[in-house]
């Protein structure tokens, strides 16, 4: 490797490291809700289903809708500056969640968090794809997506510690704000680091775009036509992964509550236990999924990425089903650990699959279309499906484990069937795009 090539590679990995910090921050702000089910329900007098709308739909609706216009900016403008602005926005809105006076004001604050976070992943995936050769893209995107597991884990660990501390000393009085409940203070604390990460992004270089790409964004109509021309590959992958994410995000939001309601964990203990699982096994799953996909791709298997996702869904299913039957805390933790490990395989390579099928000039917009559906369906509906099963099928808060198991039994087979049906078309689309770009 020449000195220039080594320098470019080092710069690329530095880029991934900073973007991973941004992703970590985004998931702390996004997932902190999972540890606050009890306190927020008590403060506002709401049900599991209403809480799920705050945790899922309020965030995902505008996160999804704003992704496309922000992706158009990313496809033709400075992606680094766009991310810096949006990190600042979602950090401020996270802190404002702590000042919410009721269900609707917290709903609106969560909408603001979603709008801010909408730009990160489309712009980040576009930057990473331009910075790395395709033979190492799976690992690079998986390292970036480690922010998901780090962020989720830190959200639960930090949130549990703060809530436990606040509960031990009662209400907290802040100058100008008066008495604050522990969950409110938690939002304010986790909102601060994002502003520092926004400043750190100033040290990142904008990767050069593919040669021949103009500064003008491809019209949305052309992007939609491109997707429709590859509707079997794109449709099966995007919808299949979105349904898979319904189960993944259901576990991520309700996992701590499962430990609290089923085994009597305190919020602090539930946060520490589930946060540790997310950080260690979630991260291991991300890296394993990326490494396996890259190895298969290097051997000429063009549909390696979705194949790994399909296998991970099948491996995840028995562990989620076990949540409905576990009677000991140790067994419940083992099931959560296995489900978390295999669910994380898709984190880095699901969007990476689309990047491999898509020309550089429209990568951010295609990624935004993916995140629109994946997040609207996966994040918006996943937690609510579990809550509806708890509230209306089992009619028992303590049945959260059965709700998680039943949702997985219904959804994972559908997701895997769709992904399997799209495998040949995905391989053809990737091979075609690689031939047109003539990149390794």
Residue 344: strand, helix, or coil: coil
Residue 29's pLDDT is what? 82
What is the tens place of the pLDDT at every residue in 142-186?
A: 788 787 787 788 778 877 777 777 666 656 666 766 667 778 888
Are 120 and 87 in contact by the 8 Å Cβ rule? The answer is: yes
In a domain, residue 210? The reply is no
User: Is the C-alpha dihedral spanning 154, 129, 306, 364 positive or negative?
Assistant: positive
Residue 440's pLDDT is what? 47
In the structure, what pLDDT confidence band is assigned to residue 260 with cuts at 50, 70 and 90? very high
pTM of the predicted protein model: 0.82
pLDDT exceeds cutoff 90 at 330: yes
What is the tens place of the pLDDT at every residue in 177-232?
A: 666 777 888 888 888 888 999 999 989 888 887 765 545 667 888 888 999 999 99
What is the tens place of the pLDDT at every residue in 54-89?
A: 988 888 887 777 877 887 788 778 889 999 999 999
| % of the chain at pLDDT higher than 70 | 93
Please enumerate in sequence order all residues whose Cβ is within 8 A of that of 50, keeping only pairs 6 or more positions apart, or say none.
103
Token pair recorded at residue 197: 């990460």
Taking the C-alpha atoms of residue 237 and residue 421, their distance in angstroms, rounded to an integer, is: 9
CATH number of the domain encompassing residue 135: 1.20.1250.20
Task: Pick the closest to residue 350 from 402, 284, 433, 426 (CA basis).
Answer: 426
In a domain, residue 211? The reply is no
| % of the chain at pLDDT higher than 90 | 45
pLDDT exceeds cutoff 80 at 50: yes
Residue 299: strand, helix, or coil: coil
In a domain, residue 325? The reply is yes
pLDDT exceeds cutoff 60 at 272: yes
Out of 24-28, 214-218, 430-434, the most confident range is: 430-434
Domain ranges, residue 364: 3-204+216-437
Token pair recorded at residue 117: 């976070």
| Number of domains within the chain | 1
Which has the higher per-residue pLDDT, 277 or 69? 277
Arithmetic mean of pLDDT, 304-332: 96
What is the tens place of the pLDDT at every residue in 228-247?
A: 999 999 999 999 999 999 99
Arithmetic mean of pLDDT, 131-137: 79
Q: Alpha carbon 114 to chain centroid distance?
A: 12
| Mean pLDDT computed over every residue of the chain | 87
Torsion angle of alpha carbons 230, 235, 241, 242, nearest 10°? Answer: 140
Q: Name the DSSP class of 171.
A: -
Taking the C-alpha atoms of residue 379 and residue 372, their distance in angstroms, rounded to an integer, is: 10
pLDDT exceeds cutoff 90 at 116: no
Task: Pick the closest to residue 76 from 220, 221, 217, 219 (CA basis).
Answer: 217
Residue 272 phi/psi, 5° resolution?
Answer: -65, -45
Which has the higher per-residue pLDDT, 285 or 154? 285
Of 11-15, 144-148, 247-251, 415-419, which gets the smallest average pLDDT? 144-148
Residue 358: strand, helix, or coil: coil
Task: Pick the closest to residue 200 from 80, 24, 77, 114 (CA basis).
Answer: 80
Residue 1's pLDDT is what? 58
In a domain, residue 92? The reply is yes
Taking the C-alpha atoms of residue 394 and residue 336, their distance in angstroms, rounded to an integer, is: 21
Of 163-172, 173-182, 268-277, 383-392, which gets the smallest average pLDDT? 163-172
In the structure, what pLDDT confidence band is assigned to residue 93 with cuts at 50, 70 and 90? very high
In a domain, residue 209? The reply is no
22-43 burial by CB neighbour count: b if 16+ within 10 A, else e?
bbbbbbbbbbbbbbbbbbbbeb
In a domain, residue 354? The reply is yes
Arithmetic mean of pLDDT, 27-34: 80
Are 186 and 40 in contact by the 8 Å Cβ rule? The answer is: no
């Amino acid at each position: 490797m020449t000195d220039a090539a080594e320098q470019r590679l080092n710069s690329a990995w530095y880029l991934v490291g900073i973007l991973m910090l941004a992703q970590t921050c985004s998931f702390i702000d996004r997932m902190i809700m999972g540890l606050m089910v009890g306190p927020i329900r008590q403060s506002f007098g709401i049900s599991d289903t209403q809480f799920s709308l705050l945790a899922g739909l309020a965030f995902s609706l505008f996160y999804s809708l704003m992704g496309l216009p922000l992706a158009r900016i990313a496809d033709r403008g400075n992606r680094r500056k766009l991310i810096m602005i949006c990190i600042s926005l979602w950090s401020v809105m996270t802190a404002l969640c702590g000042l919410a006076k009721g269900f609707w004001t917290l709903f609106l604050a969560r909408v603001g968090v979603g709008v801010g976070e909408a730009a990160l992943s489309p712009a980040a995936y576009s930057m990473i794809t331009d910075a790395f050769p395709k033979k190492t893209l799976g690992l690079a995107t998986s390292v970036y997506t480690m922010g998901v597991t780090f962020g989720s884990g830190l959200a639960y660990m930090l949130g549990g510690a703060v809530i436990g501390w606040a509960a031990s000393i009662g209400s907290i009085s802040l100058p100008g704000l008066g008495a604050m409940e522990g969950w409110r203070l938690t939002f304010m604390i986790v909102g601060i680091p994002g502003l520092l990460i926004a400043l750190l992004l100033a040290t990142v270089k904008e990767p050069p775009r593919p040669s021949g790409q103009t500064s003008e964004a491809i019209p949305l109509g052309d992007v939609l036509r491109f997707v429709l021309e590859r509707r079997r590959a794109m449709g099966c992958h995007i919808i299949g992964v979105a349904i898979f994410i319904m189960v993944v995000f259901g576990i991520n939001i309700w996992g701590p509550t499962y430990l609290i309601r089923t085994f009597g964990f305190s919020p602090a203990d539930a946060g520490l236990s589930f946060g540790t699982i997310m950080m260690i096994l979630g991260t291991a799953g991300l890296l394993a999924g990326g490494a396996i996909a890259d190895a298969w791709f290097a051997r000429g298997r063009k549909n390696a990425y979705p194949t790994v996702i399909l296998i991970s869904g099948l491996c995840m299913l028995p562990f989620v089903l076990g949540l409905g039957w576990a009677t000991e805390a140790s067994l419940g933790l083992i099931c959560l650990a296995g489900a978390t490990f295999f669910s994380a395989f898709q984190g880095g390579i699901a969007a990476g699959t689309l990047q491999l099928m898509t020309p550089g000039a429209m990568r951010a917009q295609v990624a935004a279309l993916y995140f629109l559906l994946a997040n609207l369906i996966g994040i918006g509906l996943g937690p609510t499906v579990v809550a509806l099963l708890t509230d209306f099928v089992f009619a028992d808060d303590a049945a959260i484990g059965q709700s998680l198991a039943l949702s997985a039994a219904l959804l994972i087979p559908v997701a895997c069937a769709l992904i399997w049906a799209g495998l040949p078309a995905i391989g053809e689309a990737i091979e075609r795009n690689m031939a047109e770009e003539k990149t390794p």
